[in-house]
Amino acid sequence: MKKVIIVDDERAGRDLIKEYLEKHPDLIIMGEANNGVDAVKLIKEFQPDLVFMDIQMPGLTGFEVLKRLDEIPQIIFSTAYDEYALDAFEVHAVDYLLKPYTMERFNKAVARLQINSEVNNINSLAESLLKDLPDYPEQILVNKNRKLVTLKLKDIQWIEAYGDYSKIHTLDQVFISNSGITALEERLNPKHFIRVHRSAITHLKQIQTAEKYGKGYSLKMNNGDIVRVSRGYVDRLRELMF
């Protein structure tokens, strides 16, 4: 028997895994979570043998969840995004289920469990996750009046989603980036930048005050702009509160 936790921010995704697991009575579901923060709590509480893990979720991504665990179980990623496949196998995931997937594909992933349990080395997985963080740029090139100009990342106040593009706010200027906000988030150092809304990323050192706003927070940046923290991302902010 193996203990299982299901982590997916969409109910349909969790329900599908539970349906497919009915064909595998040796895999016992201990709990489920719809966000990264609750996933960490469940995994630490139940210490499952296997976790079906989504990647893009409110609060914490699937990879951020793993970095917060003392002991890492076997992981089968289940996601709609194919661009994370290489990262998944770098952390020795059992398999990578790309949504939508069939029961046959699901069963193949489960069949890998026995093979991986014989050769799986938890220490190597932990070492892979805890290896040095990648280098992040200190400055970038942005568009301004049909020219590319240099912008130091420390001067960025916050970043705003702008359709398929992004607006980068500094103390007294606004630049347009050709990249979407999610693409920018992946290229920014998480020690300095935090996603607070599906449409906003803030520079931690540029936050002047944080005030309670409904079930979220309202951030006042050093340039005077107000940035809302949505419910789905408020746990990220709370992790910084002491």
- Select from 86, 108, 129 the last residue of a domain: 129
- Residue 28 included in any domain: yes
Predicted pLDDT of residue 121: 43
Q: Which of 132-141, 149-158, 200-209 has the lowest mean pLDDT?
A: 132-141
Q: Are residues 101 and 183 in the same domain?
A: no
Q: Are residues 202 and 233 in the same domain?
A: yes
- Greater confidence (30 vs 93) lies with 30
Q: Are residues 12 and 123 in the same domain?
A: yes
> Average pLDDT for residues 207-213, to the nearest whole number?
89
pLDDT band at 193 (very low <50, low <70, confident <90, very high): very high
> Average pLDDT for residues 3-29, to the nearest whole number?
95
Predicted pLDDT of residue 118: 43
- Are 1 and 28 in contact by the 8 Å Cβ rule? The answer is yes
Domain count, the chain: 2
Residues of the chain with pLDDT > 90, as a percent, come to 52
Give the CATH number, domain containing residue 184.
Answer: 2.40.50.1020
Using the structure block, give the residue that is written with the tokens 């568009």.
143
- Greater confidence (31 vs 230) lies with 31
Per-residue model confidence as pLDDT tens digits over 72-89: 899 999 988 877 777 776
Residue 51 has pLDDT above 90, yes or no: yes
Which range of residues forms the domain containing residue 123? 2-129
Average pLDDT along the chain: 86
- Residue 134 included in any domain: no
Residue 125 has pLDDT above 70, yes or no: no
